[in-house]
A = this chain, B = another copy of it.
Amino acid sequence: MRIVSLAGGIGGARFLRGLRAAVPDAEITVIGNTGDDITLFGLRVCPDLDTVMYTLGGGINEEQGWGREKESHVVKEELAAYGVEPQWFGLGDRDFATHIVRSQMLEAGYTLSQVTEALCDRWQPGVRLLPMSDDRCETHVVITDEQGRRAVHFQEWWVRLRASVPAESIALVGADTAAPAPGVLAAIEAADFVILPPSNPVVSIGTILQIPGIREALTGKTVVGVSPIIGGAPVRGMADACLTAIGVETSAQAVLSLYGSDLLDGWLVAPEDSSVALEGVRVEARPLLMSDPDATAELARAALALAQELSR
């Protein structure tokens, strides 16, 4: 069985762990969001790719959902002692090593795909992890704060401001000229079906779908999505702030409409959202909370079962 999944960070990574547990023999290709990527202290940081890699590779900080377990913060404290900015992004020492290896390889001329593959050699995530693109494209957010109206990097809005200032618009800078990373379109083409985990529909899944060619390739496939919204609130994270920015209501119905029936064939919602409907999409109600590995695997199994049924 060949499965493609698009994924953002924490929610996507946890869902993928359930998916891998549900079908250990499946060939799973994960197309990871790189719109959150940022260069900090001269080092290239790919938060979502790393969250997927660490989560599936057994190195994640489980409680936090991102970063490494048993982490220390000596380098960050020393950088602060030098007065180097930004100080609001929490990189740990173990995590720094990943960014150092990545940056050194990128500087040497390797592509982000090649770097990701090399990093995964260590982590053995049990899936094939591909960045959505080898081209640099980063999400920027227009905000108005005490410094006036300006565009900031997604991480500045998300991490420094905790999305407390409304996003007036969100744009993936560089998307127009970006190409899917090698293997992305071929994996979609070869897939039996595609699963969209409950990742952020705007700045994770939505970002991946903006890379020219990816959405088009998905149109011909059986695609089942898991709603990231339960009863009007995000399962986790601040997806509501992102949806508001693009004029979409925070509801399982609105996200379904945002994805549309040209993309989705099936849509899993929580029991309280069972009234959700869209012509051309099979909606099923299931418990969506990924409260533990078993519940997550069960959710993945439900998504797979629906996809298998729809692809017949």
Interface residues of A (CB under 8 A from B): 41-43, 72, 74-75, 78-79, 81-84, 93-94, 96-98, 100-101, 103-104, 107, 118-119, 121-122
The one of B78, B98, B122 in contact with A94, judged by C-beta atoms closer than 8 angstroms, is B78
Q: Are A79 and B101 in contact (CB under 8 A)?
A: yes
In the complex, chain B residues whose CB is within 8 Å of the CB of A100: 41-43, 75, 79
Task: Identify the interface centre among A41, A82, A100, A122: most chain B CB within 10 Å of its CB.
Answer: A100
For the complex, what is the distance from the CA of A82 to the CA of B74, rounded to whole Å? 20
Q: Are B79 and A93 in contact (CB under 8 A)?
A: no
Q: Are A42 and B103 in contact (CB under 8 A)?
A: yes
Q: Are A74 and B94 in contact (CB under 8 A)?
A: yes
In the complex, chain B residues whose CB is within 8 Å of the CB of A79: 97, 100-101
In the complex, chain B residues whose CB is within 8 Å of the CB of A94: 74-75, 78
Query: 6 A-B pairs, CB-CB below 8 angstroms?
Result: A42-B103, A43-B100, A74-B94, A82-B97, A82-B118, A96-B96
The one of B41, B75, B81, B107 in contact with A75, judged by C-beta atoms closer than 8 angstroms, is B75
Query: Which partner residue on chain B sits nearest A68 by CB separation?
Result: B78
Q: Are B122 and A98 in contact (CB under 8 A)?
A: no
Q: Are B42 and A122 in contact (CB under 8 A)?
A: no
CB distance from A291 to the nearest CB of B (A): 31
Further 9 A-B residue pairs, CB within 8 A, beyond A74-B74, A75-B75:
A74-B94, A75-B93, A75-B94, A81-B122, A82-B97, A82-B119, A82-B122, A83-B122, A96-B96
